[in-house]
Structure 1
Amino acid sequence: MKNLHLFDLEKVDNIVSPEHFEEITLSSPATKIFTDFKHNVPLKIEGTTLAVDALNLMIKSHVKMQMVVSADDEFIGVISTKELSERHIVSEVAKGTPRNMLLVEDMMLPRESLTVFDYQELEKSKVSDVVFALEQNGLNHCLVVDRATHQIRGVISSSDIARKLHLPILLNKSNSFSRIFNVIHGKVA
């Protein structure tokens, strides 16, 4: 057995993170800016969770989007803080469902309504291609699917791209792909 030594913690300048070692730019491979579920556990929530509970949980954990699954862990859609906003909840209540009865599955974007990137195409693309495509479609999140294996491979998030490109993230504004596109092109954000 090797005898390891313990040292006193002296002057520490910073904590290392992956961004210190790999600079992401608009010409970087697009695979550098997506959360790959082969390396990161996807955030999932059951569709039968109360919408208000889901929103509170997402706010506390600083999460803006989750995968919605059935009781059998089958993917049925996605939910974001956008769909759980007060405006959307009030809209559903106006249709007759009491606030305390609204479920995630009532508010989510169902899988049938989602558009996705193909992983194999993403492998041949650049960050700028992704930002442009998502800005054109007005999305804040987009799933990445491996169509060859019929699996959801990961997700791309506007907040993650802004952070990886070292763009200013404004806490009081949505970090949409449109905002990222405008910042990159020198337009007022």
Structure 2
Amino acid sequence: MNEFKKLSTVKLENVYNFCNPYDSEPLLLESSALKVVTDFTRRAPQLILKDVDIDHALYMMVNGHVRSKLVIDHDDTFLGVVNSRDLTGRKVLSMAQKLSQARSDLSVEDVMTCKSELHALPYSSVKSAKIGDIIETLKDIGQQHVLLVNKRGGLRGMISASDIARALHIPVNILQKAHSFKEVFAIIHAHEDMFAS
């Protein structure tokens, strides 16, 4: 017995225009930050296993139209985040050299950002925040995204600079911050890679 029913469709022959985008509330920096949250209770997080090789990981991201994935082990334990820039930039080559491995032998775990280096916000604080507050927070921490945790400490969601930029149709430039001398070099090399492309 099928509990679903088919819906009736309509013809498009007399449809010529798009609806006015102002029929819905436009998003502004003053809009609720909840409007740009990727909420894991409504949409499953983008996950990737730590031992996937970097070429396959990049293929998965490109074909899935995503820029980052949460890294897990085989027990579904959260380990960190990997983004497409991690998989294509100088970081890959320097890690291959450091580990004395071929680039093609590197895994997601080798180039990911570990959870100890990431920042999170309590989901409850985002409920009363504005999109502009999130941008200021991302600028302050120098990262492209911030994770959200629930009261019990579980991952509830994520907000990314790229999602905000797409939603508001504005550029959102977040400069990485260095917390050590080693990170200064990594950031310089990352910016060289961006301008070389």
CA distance in 1, matches of 2:39, 2:47: 14
8 Å CA contact 2:119–2:141 kept in 1: the answer is: no
Q: TM-score, normalised by structure 1?
A: 0.79
CA distance in 2, matches of 1:4, 1:37: 28
Return the match for 1:141 from 142, 145, 166: 145
Match of residue 113 from structure 1: 117
Match of residue 67 from structure 2: 64
Q: Secondary structure at the match of 1:177?
A: coil
CA distance in 2, matches of 1:4, 1:59: 33
Q: TM-score, normalised by structure 2?
A: 0.76
8 Å CA contact 1:139–1:176 kept in 2: the answer is: no
Residue type at the aligned position of 1:130: I
Match of residue 94 from structure 2: 91
Q: Secondary structure at the match of 1:131?
A: helix
Match of residue 173 from structure 2: 176
Residue type at the aligned position of 2:89: E
Root-mean-square deviation over aligned CA pairs = 2.5
8 Å CA contact 1:28–1:126 kept in 2: the answer is: yes
Indicate the structure with greater helix content. 2
Q: Secondary structure at the match of 1:23?
A: coil
Any gaps of 5 or more consecutive residues in structure 1? 169-174, 179-189
CA distance in 1, matches of 2:129, 2:28: 13
**TM-aligned CA distance change 1:3 to 1:56, over 3 Å:** closer
CA distance in 2, matches of 1:104, 1:30: 30
Aligned length: 169
For the pair 1:53 / 2:50, whether they are aligned, the reply is: no
Match of residue 33 from structure 2: 30
Q: State percent identity of aligned pairs.
A: 33
Return the offset for 1:86: 3.1
Match of residue 85 from structure 2: 82
Any gaps of 5 or more consecutive residues in structure 2? 176-197
CA distance in 1, matches of 2:59, 2:23: 33
